[in-house]
Amino acid sequence: MNKNSPVYLDDLFVGAEFKSSEHQLDQEQIIKFAQEFDPQPFHTDEGAAKDTFFKGIAASGWHTAAITMKLMVESLPFQTGIIGLGGEISWPRPTRPGETLHAISKILEIVPSRSKPDRGIVTVECLTLNQNDELCQKFVTKLVVLKRPVDNLTT
C-alpha cells in the first residue's frame, strides 16, 4: 500500500499491516504528562515511585495511549483520518523512562456499513512495543473508514 496516496475502505484488506516510526520516551515527558493528567507518585516522583506497586517511575497508561495515537496517525494513511468509536485497551507491562516505542497496526476485519453505503467499520489491532519488542499496550479498535467517492473512480 502506497503511504503517499490516500487510502479508502476499498484499498484495505484483512491482514494488512502498518508499522510506525519510533517515539523516544524520557522521564521528563512522563512526569509532565502525569502532572497534568495522572498525578500519582509512581508517575511523577522518582523517589516515591520506588516504594509503590511499580517499583520505579512508569508512564501513565494514558500517556502510552496518546503516544500510540500519534504513531497511528502518522502510519495509517486513511483518507478520512483515524476516527475511532472506542475499543479494548490493555497495558501488559509498564512503559519506562528511556524506552523507545513503535506501533504496529494490523487490520482484523472490514465490515461495510448497511445503513451508510459510503463507509465501513474497520477493526484494527494496534500493538505498542518497546525497543526490545516487549508489549507495552494492546489496543483493538473499530474505525470509521470511507469508501472512495464515485466521481473519483475516473481519475
Residues that bind its own copies (CB under 8 A): 33, 36-42, 52-53, 60-62, 65-67, 69-70, 73, 80-91, 138, 144
Q: Closest approach of Cβ 74 to its own copies, in Å?
A: 8
Least distance in angstroms from the C-beta of 2 to its own copies:
20
Instruction: Report the run of H or E that residue 101 belongs to, with start and end.
Output: strand 100-112
Report the nearest approach of its own copies to the CB of residue 87 (Å): 6
Give the residues across from 52 on adjacent strands: none
**57/82 with CB nearer its own copies:** 82
Report in angstroms how near the CB of residue 9 gets to its own copies at its nearest.
14
CB closer to its own copies out of 15 and 151: 151
> 139-155: string of b/e by CB count within 10 Å (b at 16+)?
bbbbbbbbbbeeeeeee
Nearer to its own copies, 84 or 97 (CB): 84
80: alpha, beta or left? (left if phi > 0; alpha if psi -120 to 50): alpha
Q: Cell digits for 133?
A: 519488542
C-alpha cell at 99: 524506552
Nearer to its own copies, 15 or 113 (CB): 113
Q: Return the closest-CA partner of residue 46 out of 116, 100, 54, 84.
A: 54
